[in-house]
A and B are shown apart, each in its own frame.
Chain A
Amino acid sequence: DTGVSQNPRHKITKRGQNVTFRCDPISEHNRLYWYRQTLGQGPEFLTYFQNEAQLEKSRLLSDRFSAERPKGSFSTLEIQRTEQGDSAMYLCASSAHRTGGQETQYFGPGTRLLVL
């Protein structure tokens, strides 16, 4: 399978704990995106990388959230001191960006987080 993969698929944690999610994009894709999706809503943009550079962050991404893509390949999203409001599906997507060209994002299956 050469699609976008995410691990773990499910995570249950207690309020106040830290969690980390991993995303492995399609290998030749230079852009990687993180989204959050809550029940009954469409995905909301959190942040994205071009190669290893984090180019934009949403106001939704509080100080407790941090994302990295150290070698321009896989990415991690860490949530510190989790709160019940962080419970959601966290989606990763990747794309092949070319200057002046159109791009299409391909999504992973998501990591479902439940904070008790």
Chain B
Amino acid sequence: AQSVTQLDSHVSVSEGTPVLLRCNYSSSYSPSLFWYVQHPNKGLQLLLKYTSAATLVKGINGFEAEFKKSETSFHLTKPSAHMSDAAEYFCVVSDPPGGSYIPTFGRGTSLIVHP
């Protein structure tokens, strides 16, 4: 069985400061991991994905995430927050090829960016 835990329901940062959104996963396999962003009244947008290639994954809008198998973590970071980054972020785990592909979403982390 797979599961994902987003450790913070809300993260508040000032514009220009670093962002860290934490995610821990559980999977019986070597999973695929994703981060999605959801802006108000907008659809879920893929930020980045890990699929067993490089452990440091770069995504859109300056975000990146590092897969750490020993810690079962896939934390999302950005060096400098922008006001437009304020949104809901979801960490997602999915079984690898041969699995069901049914992804499991975390409960989400709301990123608040202060001027």
Query: C-beta contact mask, B6-27 vs A, less than 8 Å → 1, else 0?
Result: 0000000000000000000000
Do B43 and A40 have beta carbons less than 8 Å apart?
Answer: no
Residues of the A chain whose Cβ atoms lie less than 8 Å from the Cβ of B36: 107
Q: Is B115 an interface residue (CB 8 A)?
A: no
Report Cα–Cα, A56/B99, bound state, in Å. 13
What's the least CB distance linking A7 to chain B, in Å? Answer: 13
Interface status of B102 (Cβ within 8 A of chain A): yes
Closest to B97 in A: A100
Q: Please tell me if the beta carbons of B108 and A109 are within 8 angstroms of each other in the complex.
A: no
B108 & A102 in contact (Cβ 8 Å cutoff)? no
CB B24 to nearest CB in A, in angstroms, measures 14
Q: Name the B residues within 8 Å of A45 (CB-CB).
A: 102-104
Q: Is the Cβ of B100 less than 8 Å from the Cβ of A56?
A: yes
Q: What residues on A are CB-neighbors of B49 within 8 Å?
A: 102, 104
How far apart are A39's CB and chain B's nearest CB, in angstroms? 10
Q: Is the CB of A108 within 8 A of B43?
A: yes
> Which bucket holds chain B's interface residue count?
20 to 34
Residues of B within 8 A of A109 (CB): 41-43
Output the residue of B96, B102, B107 with the most chain A CB within 10 A.
B102
Asked if A101 is at the interface (CB within 8 A of a chain B CB), the reply is yes
Q: Count contacts on A: residues with CB < 8 A to the other chain.
A: 27
CB pair B107–A40 under 8 Å, yes or no, is yes
Q: In whole angstroms, how far apart are the Cα atoms of A97 and B98 in the complex? A: 12
Q: Is the CB of B102 within 8 A of A4?
A: no
Within 8 A of A (CB), among B70-115: 90, 92, 96-98, 100-108
B56 part of interface (Cβ distance < 8 Å): no
Given contacts A42-B108, A102-B51, contact A56 B44 (CB under 8 A): no
Per the 8 Å Cβ criterion, residues 20-77 of A in contact with B are 31, 40-45, 48, 56
Residues of B at the A interface (CB closer than 8 Å) are 32, 34, 36, 41-46, 49, 51, 90, 92, 96-98, 100-108
Q: List 5 A-B contacts (CB under 8 A).
A: A4-B43, A44-B105, A56-B102, A102-B97, A105-B103
